[in-house]
Amino acid sequence: MITATSRRFFVLVHILASPKKAFSSPSSDPNCTSSGHNLAYVNIGNNPEGHKPLMMAWMCSGKTHKEMVDRLASAGIIKASINKEAMLSVDRRNYVIDTSRAYDDSPQPIGYGATISAPHMHAHALEELLPPLSRASRDEPTRPLRILDVGCGSGYLTAVFGRMVRPKVMYDERKSPLPSLSRSVPKLNDGKVFGIDVIPQLVQMSKTNMMKEDGDLIDSNTVEFAVGDGWKGYPGGSPYNAIHVGAAAATFPIELMKQLAVGGVMFVPVGPEHGEQYLYRVERVDDRGQVVGLVGSDESRGFHEEDYRIRRVLGVRYVPLVRTD
Give yes or no: 117 in active site: yes
What torsion, rounded to 10 degrees, do the Cα atoms 292, 293, 296, 299 define?
Answer: 30
Catalytic residue from among 106, 117, 137, 206: 117
191, 144 in Cβ contact below 8 A? yes
Mind giving me the DSSP string for 167-206? PPEE--TTSS-EESS-TTS--PPPEEEEEEES-HHHHHHH
3-state DSSP assignment of residue 17: coil
Residues facing 194 on adjacent strands: 148, 224
Cα separation, 33 vs 117, whole angstroms: 17
- Give the ranges where the chain is alpha helix by DSSP (H): 4-16, 65-74, 81-88, 119-139, 156-165, 200-213, 215-219, 254-257
Cα separation, 92 vs 156, whole angstroms: 7
* Residue 92: φ, ψ to 5°: -60, -25
286-300 burial string, b = 16+ CB within 10 Å, else e? Answer: ebebbbbbeeebeee
3-state DSSP assignment of residue 134: helix
86, 126 in Cβ contact below 8 A? yes
Quickly count helices (H) and strands (E) in the chain. Answer: 8, 15
Residues catalogued as catalytic: 117
